[in-house]
Structure 1
């Protein structure tokens, strides 16, 4: 009886070691997986309610045009891809991650560009802050059918308490020179993204 009990305890101990060892390996992989964040939004631009994608200027972003945003954080960086279709053909749109979600009312409601290292001056037009390493810039040029794709990779990940909340399409390509850095004109469309 004592031998059998001891043998059972030894077997249970060995199993616990195997489970712990596997759990440790899985746990560290799980921790790595937990630090990687992936987001995907696919939507159709519409006027008015519904969301998450709104058009405020149907000449530049027709109702019914589509948008997809994917964003993945891994290894200390963030890669974001913007895909659009149904926009004006052969045109460049500025596009950036912004601080607030979109509303049906106006593109201005999405707030300023998200900056990893915020500019103390607002609006931010200093290239030391308004640049594609400190912000997520996704300027996209459409083809003859009005489709396009752009990707941004930045060397940082969003802090848990301060994330971007949308991607805004602008009427023109993003300026890079001092005093105008980061500007891209009006905001004809916006899509809410849970970065």
Structure 2
């Protein structure tokens, strides 16, 4: 039987999600990492910027370890949704660097505190444990890595958790046709929502 280290396990899953998010930027020009590709404006660099703020907030101020130089868009002194897109004067290197620094700061907090350490998210009611914050950040980062996966697929077809897209269905026209046929057949049977 292998011994388990819950904190190390959680940290591993968080780092994996972080890595997935960042590789979605690889090889793309500035326009493609910034342009809105959904009706809500979802874009790759904005997702990284958003998660930089989340890491800084949840693992910084929450546990009395403020992240140095926290951007105004985290504290609410910026225009609405400023954390979800990059201004023209914000470089890829600046935002990715900020994300890496926020993650390193978060890792220091994770290493320094036990999972049952209690903190308070600024502006939120109630206390939260490091365990709960870690779980939340894994879910948050994986959620946005999924958004990034879809956005990247819209840009150039690159998909998956790693370069090469080995963990997703292949680009197969027959598969797409099968899915489309099933959708049409279900629709022809009528809307059965209850």
The structure whose residues are more often helix, as a share, is 2
TM-score under structure 1 normalisation?
A: 0.27
